[in-house]
Structure 1
Amino acid sequence: MARNLFGGTSADVAESVSGARIPGAVGTVWDGPSEGARQITDLTDSSGAPVLQLVADNRGMVPPFYGPASGAERLWVDFGAGRVGLLATNTGERLVQHQAAADPHQDRAYTNERLLNYVPINGSDLNVPAGSDWARWIVPSTADINGSAWKLKTADNTDYTRLRNSGALLIDTIGVRAALCIGAPAYPANQTVVNVTNSKASTTTTASVFRVQGDGSVISAGTVTATNVGSARLFSGPNSPAVPRPGDVWVQYG
């Protein structure tokens, strides 16, 4: 710890029992007022030179000196009339330095260290333990179609991509033409990239009503309707359709 400054003020004087100043008096320094106190000899003057004896000046004033390296806040001096307590005189300066320091208590560093894997700070990496959820949003009701568990907004308060409390994901991009891009590098042809099921979402269920496979195949359990498809039907086999309709296609084989 840093040494603290003592003496050098109008209140720091060497006095006799009667209260008279004693110019040139030699005093001792202690760490307490009791008989069991320890004498302090680890002292320096204002320039940092060791102080062998604490000597009052020619006016009886106690000169400024630095206390022990242990950083004592109070010392007791004795010039023959009993021990008198001295308080450190640089407390105000140290307080100002303390307030100006970036992290004087190291509490910010401690908080950043403790929260690093819970609430990441700007520019940090988040390490998620295997088998765990990084964060969970408990919504008031899945029937709430207006509230959002997560929302992207711009400075003018415009809503863009939102994750509703109902679980719906609304994707609105800002200045990007492709609203949703799903990467599927080196996906096997039989591996599903997009899977819509008739039950709760799952990565393993086969109860799919619509799938996009790794090779680009689109598999639908229901009718595919589009302006360029119309009402055409496709048949294959040895016999033509029993009740053909205009636009039907029959591929004969066998």
Structure 2
Amino acid sequence: MARYTFGGGIADYLVTNRDGLWGVAPGAVVTFYSDADGGTQYTDLLSEAGTAVTQITADDNGLLPVFQGPPDVTLMWASAGGVSRVWLKARDADTAAMTPGSVRDWLNVLDYGAQGDGVTDDTVAIQAALNACPMGGIVYAPGGSYRTSATLSVPPGVTLTSTHANLMTVPNLVDPPCYIKPLATFAGNAVISFLDEIDGGYATISAEHRIDRVMIDGSDLTAPGVDGIRARGNIQNVQLVDVTVRRVTGAGVHTEANAGKFPYSWRLTRVMVDNVGWHGFAFEVMTDISLMDCQAIGCGASGFEIANAANSHAIGCRAEWCVGDGFHLTGDWAVGTGSGGMLFGSCSTDRNGGNGFLVDAVGNAPLQFENIETRRDGRNNGAGGSGFAGFAVDGATMPVIIGLLTSYVGVDDDGSQANSPQYGARFTDSAYVSVSSGFLHGDTAGWSDGGGNAVLRRGLNIGERTGPSNAPVDAFAGPTDVAGNLNVAGYAAVASGQSNGVWNIWDASPKALTLGSAGGGVAIKEGANARLGVSTLAAGTVTVANTSVTADTRVGTFRQEGAGALGHLSVTKDPGAGFTITSSSNTETSVIGWVLYEPA
């Protein structure tokens, strides 16, 4: 029969309180029972030295010393002489022996003394559960309001989970109280943190942290710069699923460097950041990150601030009503073999104070945007204007490739404030920007070339509008159709061109085809059956074989080199066979140039 170890640490005796706060006074005598009320007293105990004892005395700090319980007993109810008893677990026992239906890697914070009553400081209890959880295990916080006074650290390989994460607090809507809510006296730089091997003292890299169905409510925070979730250093393969962070005074989710190393390969799915003091999502050099259905709303800076996220993607993400830009792609994304770009697909913005999207990043890798919708951005504290756009590229050296892009204007939901954005899309001082298609509506202009761009390519299928949404002014380019014709408003300028088909010029002006540069000319291929050539008269005549000659062909002749007695030239056609050039002088031997024309 085995004996199990109790005591010796805070996680071993902080337990669920059943009738109010329960504490152990220094020097208190503690006895143990088989039930919360009544039951049998356990008297077969062993001290740390192996001496048989019937009770345990707390030390000067109110901590229970290490001792062993009765044979095969892993759960006891402890009494310090008061009205209540508390649940005490063995340190080295399988949790399944203590709680029917549970397993060792599933720890309930209530069993470690957390209350979730919206009043009690549950920091020590929750952290005790997190510290006690083995890698691969789960720490569970049932529905409740868990107040904290300091940062909670989730160890590597541990999952912190709860039951519900409210997306937003809606007036007059009853939401279940299920969140971690820092006290006004909170001290720390984040409500929840992940530590790397340097700060955490781990033997290996820090990885595989999980937060699932957890809400952080920072509405009582007073200190500035408190993030919801922060990670610093080489912290890999983190997953945040169904997480909400609201009203913290810093960023919602924040990653940063430590000793030159950065977080890596995170997956964020259905993460909501609501009305935080700084950026919603602030990522500093976050390689291989996946953002799926994440939203930032009402943030004090940008919704998504991303400074180098090589080989990453954001799918179905939204930024709305943020003070700064909706999505800001910035910083140095590098040029070496480890550098890379990022893909944004089906992302949208609405009523952000700055641009919907702003790209000013430097580097060589491409940034790709597909199916992007922007709406009412450039709010600018309600004033609009100031050069803001639904999509802006300014000073970027990274190639920016945009597929389908839409921008739409508007005012606040109540109909007040200025119409914005000023531009649907604006591009300035950038290395390479290509926009394939879209519909761009801006208050001043749909498309704006701010100048200084090395390469700015505009696709043919881009519509433009200006003015307010209820009275737009169309500035549509000519359409492209499916009948084989391409109509381009204005003019088309090409550096070189080739055609394997017939060219038609329908302009009715005398200069329908103009070669406008000095030295420009017309070149026609010579050879058998060609439309241009030279032939030499013999005794005033020459017959030219050319099967391209028709009954309507016009044959233009001119002397290339005169010889003999010159006469007047005439032409006789033989359709499908050629033509004969004849001089009125039967002694002329000139070299005659000729060109064949066809009527349109």
TM > 0.5 fold call: no
TM-score by length of 2: 0.22
Question: Which is greater in Rg?
Answer: 1
TM-score by length of 1: 0.41
Q: Which has the higher strand share?
A: 2
